Amino acid sequence: MRFSPRPDNEFHDFIHIYLTRCREVCPAICAIAGKWNFEDMIPGLSDFDARLIVGNDVTVEHWMQMSLDVGQIHTNLVRQYPRWARILEHLPGLNFTVAEMTDPVLYYPEFQQWTFYEGDVETIEKIGVFLADKPWSHRDELFHLKKFALYYDPYDHGIDPPINLGPWGNKYPLHSRFMHYFTPPIQSAVSIIERRGMCKLEALRAARQLFPDPHVIDMIFDALDRHYEIPQWYQQSHLMKIETKLYQYLQGAYGLLADHVTLINVNPADTQQQVRANLAAVPVDMGERFFEGIKFGRLMKGRLLFYAERIDGFETEALIRNELGRIVGNLFKTPLTTYAQTRFGEDLTPGQALDRLTGNLVAPGDRADLDEFVRLCDLPLDGDERHRAREVADVYDAVQRLDEALATDLRGWLEDTVS
């Protein structure tokens, strides 16, 4: 088995270039953050989950233009730096104003796992102080329990497609199992025990001390040190043994959470389905549920248009299918139903909620585009992914206006209720 050697670590260069170009066209951007620490990003195999922080005076129109501008920058960079295809797999997913980052109502536990790389020093310090002073809460615990439950199962061979990896693609079987399947739930288990959000390698080092079978953690660090260049580990029989070891480790880690979890009863014999059922019964603040999904929507139009481009060596079909499979729920159905439950005190269907809001928070001219958005996303895909992505993008402005209007109204109502 032949391997391409570990590439140079260009993440710092990439982050600097990306922020510089984005700020040239979007001067409201204050800072760039990314999930995890710098050490967690494996050259050639990791993408970069960017997060952009902007000033407080942006409007929905600013977000819409920023989505297009950042999408174009993304497209240009993939064409200019083909070796960065993996790093540039998607546009920044979560994007907030400074005020939102420091608003207790809008607090999102993933914030604690972000690293702020570049930007306005005062902004970064302000956010850092807020997050450092934020005590561990039920919201943090629930977030990490849900993350653990998401991966608490034997390895799913369809968990993430091995695309846009260039010459390092044959190393992906180990990277996927270690860093995409196993490490996220271990991060969350360790975070629950330590009562603070932790990043990937930091959590693995802590897990070696907290949980049995330290040789499993040693195995992962050995693979990382060698950039996965261990030919015998790719034999199917050996991969199956690795999968078994990793799942058994997760089972042991779950059992040890019993003394640290307050929201559910932990039984070491629980299956993934039982854990999920127990978590589904935990009461969730409706405002929290509302904001959980829509936070991913601000640069979605640019993301879809980026995916609709034909770029040599860059695969997007699976990425488009993934987005179209979830955006109706995240950005349309859940916001409307939770808004109706919170503001109207009624269980309405998305259509009923939209009927009541049209002419008020929803412009009558947007109604047809909202209906078309749902129709397009629900249609089967028969090899026309790029065309469908562009069609959805064409009507997406109405979705963005809807979500921003609902969010502004609901946030104001929640503030009035608390005061």
Assign 33 to helix, strand or coil. strand
Same domain for 155 and 224? yes
Report, as an integer, the average pLDDT of 42-63: 97
- Helices 286-294 and 385-418: crossing angle in degrees, nearest 10, is 150
Is 54 a residue whose pLDDT tops 80? yes
CA 256 to chain centre: 27
**Mean local confidence (pLDDT), 198-225:** 98
Q: What pLDDT shows up at residue 415? A: 80
User: Rounded to 5 degrees, what are φ and ψ at 96?
Assistant: -135, 160
Domain span including residue 8: 1-134
What would the pLDDT profile of 341-382 be if each residue is shown by its tens digit? Answer: 999 999 999 999 999 999 999 999 999 999 999 999 999 998
Q: For position 159, what pLDDT does the model report?
A: 79
Whether residue 229 is predicted with pLDDT greater than 70 in this model: the reply is yes
Confidence at 286, pLDDT banded by 50, 70, 90? confident
Q: Where are the alpha helices (DSSP H) in 211-285?
A: 214-225, 236-255, 272-280
Handedness of CA 406, 411, 416, 417 (dihedral sign): positive
Which pLDDT belongs to residue 94? 96
Residue 370 shares a structural domain with residue 252 = no
Residues 292 and 164 in one domain: no
Residue 414: predicted pLDDT: 86
**What confidence tens digit (pLDDT) does each residue in 391-414 have?**
999 999 999 999 999 999 999 998
The mean pLDDT value for 279-289 works out to: 91
Do residues 35 and 96 both lie within one domain?
A: yes
Of 111, 134, 157, which closes a domain? Answer: 134
Q: Are 191 and 142 in contact (CB under 8 A)?
A: no
Domain check: are 116 and 177 in the same one? no
Residue 419 pLDDT exceeds 60: no
Q: What is the mean pLDDT of the chain?
A: 96
- Please indicate, yes or no, whether residues 166 and 298 belong to a single structural domain of this protein: no
Cα dihedral 352, 322, 93, 105 in deg (nearest 10): 40
pLDDT attached to residue 208: 98
Question: Both 275 and 301 in a single domain?
Answer: no
Strand order across the 50-54 sheet: 94-97, 50-54, 29-35, 114-119
pTM of the model: 0.96
Domain identity same for 372 and 410: yes
Does the pLDDT of residue 118 top 60, yes or no? yes
Q: What is the pLDDT of residue 416?
A: 75
Which amino acid is present at 180? H
Q: What percent of the chain has a predicted confidence (pLDDT) above 90?
A: 94
Q: Are residues 125 and 211 in the same domain?
A: no
Per-residue pLDDT averaged across 8-35, rounded? 98
Residue 418 has pLDDT above 80, yes or no: no
**Which amino acid, residue 212?**
P
Please give the helix or strand (H or E) that residue 71 lies within, else none: helix 60-80
Residue 26 and residue 111 in one domain: yes
Percent of the chain residues topping a pLDDT of 70: 100
pLDDT digits (tens, 9 = 90+) for 185-208: 999 999 999 999 999 999 999 999
Q: Is the pLDDT of residue 158 over 90?
A: no
Domain boundary among 81, 105, 134: 134
Choosing from 81, 100, 134, the residue where a domain stops is 134
Closest CA to 373 of 410, 400, 340: 400
For residues 128-137, average pLDDT? 98
Residue 5, domain CATH: 3.30.460
Q: Which of 191, 142, 147 is nearest to 289 (CA)?
A: 142
Total structural domains within the chain: 3
Encoding tokens for residue 16?
């600097």
Q: Average pLDDT, stretch 98-123?
A: 97
Q: Residues 136-162: what's their mean pLDDT?
A: 94
Task: Tell whether 106 and 174 lie within a shared domain.
Answer: no
pLDDT of residue 397: 98
The Cα 228–Cα 180 span in angstroms is 14
Are 59 and 119 in a shared domain? Answer: yes
The pLDDT score that the predictor gives to residue 215 is: 98
